[in-house]
Structure 1
Amino acid sequence: MRLLVVCLGNICRSPLAEGVLRQRLHDAGLDHRVELDSAGTGNWHVGEPPDPRTVANAARHGVDLTLLRARQLHASDYRRFDWLLCADRSNLSDVRARAPAGATARSALLLEWAGMGQGAEIPDPYTGGPEAFERVWTLVDRAARAVVARLADRTAPIDA
């Protein structure tokens, strides 16, 4: 399965989700079953590391994001990945609007896809304080654990 996590600038929510998913899959011995990456719909931060507040928050929870670099969503991502998993409805709308002809990837809200509720979104912590980053951690970690549980249960559907 190939998953791309998408947010606005690829410096807060999506790299955190990539890192947490990667860690939880590794811990469960399932990392060989999933290819992961993250991207942003905007190009403001291409080549930059994740926001220092995101890196610090993840590190406090034992997840290392220091090697990640922001990139922008590309047309090729719509064929390379099975799922484009978006942080919020605005990202989802942008992802769907940019889909090129011949796109094969499906798109959804990450939290909804992880089974955390219809329309569930990850709020952007960028303009918030430490509590906003911790709230995003909590949501993303819960989603990652739910995804791992679905993948570990070979009878559970993972395509919807």
Structure 2
Amino acid sequence: MIKVLFVCTGNICRSPTADGVFTDMVAAAGLSEQVTVDSCGLSAYHVGELPDTRSHQMAQSRGYDLGHIRSRKIKPGDYTEFDYILAMDDGHLRDMRRQAPSASQQKLKLFLDYHPKLSGQSVPDPYYGGPNGFTDVFDMIEETSRRLLAHIRDQHGI
């Protein structure tokens, strides 16, 4: 089983959107038995909450459902359990590098490192992004998720 974890600040906008989109893409590819997906936040501000209403509405408008996702805080065991631990921005990546054991450091990457044109960049927080913030972020997440799935299929022969 290949395990993918998406991480943002509070697990209500960026990481649950990536979780929902990537989960659906994995299922559509018939890989749900081989790839598992989760998301979490570095903070516990929103533990147990649903994704932000604007994220949920944007996802629904594009045929994705985020209703099964509840915010949770990253746990120390996540660093050993997951194979891909993808930060939504460089601040998250820095924090995770400080928290993760040395044996897990190679698992930590920026999510957009899988985007064809935005590698090394951060997914902007749509919470503060104005009227187009959620649309722009969703576009980035869809494209990056397609590329991430192709990468995983190639790397793992699935």
TM-score by length of 1: 0.89
Please say which of residues 54-63 and 100-109 is displaced more in the overlay: 100-109
In the alignment, residue 33 of structure 2 is paired with which amino acid?
Answer: H
Match of 1:157 in 2: 155
Query: Paired residue for 1:11?
Result: 12
User: Residue 67 in 1 paired to residue 65 in 2?
Assistant: no
Query: Please, which runs of 5 or more residues in structure 2 have no aligned partner?
Result: none
Q: Which moved more, 1:10-19 or 1:104-113?
A: 104-113
CA RMSD of aligned residues (A): 1.8
CA drift of 1:127 comes to 1.7
Give 3-state SS (helix, strand or coil) of 2:125's partner.
coil
Question: Following the alignment from structure 1 to structure 2, what is the Cα–Cα distance between the partners of residues 118 and 95?
Answer: 18
Counterpart residue number, 2:86: 85
Pair 116,34 (structure 1): closer, same or farther in 2 beyond 3 Å: farther
Single out whichever of 105-114 and 139-148 deviates more from structure 2. 105-114
CA–CA distance in structure 2, aligned partners of residues 52 and 131 of structure 1: 15
More displaced, 68-77 or 120-129? 120-129
Q: Between the two proteins, what is the percent identity of the paired residues? A: 37
More displaced 10-residue stretch of structure 1: 23-32 or 112-121: 112-121
Alpha-carbon distance, 1:103 to partner:
4.2
TM-score, normalisation: structure 2: 0.90
The 2-side partners of 1:49 and 1:83 are apart by: 23
Rounded to whole Å, the distance in 2 between the matches of 1:141 and 1:31 is 18
Runs of at least 5 residues in structure 1 that lack an aligned partner in the other structure:
none
- Between the aligned partners of 1:124 and 1:73, the Cα distance in structure 2 is 18
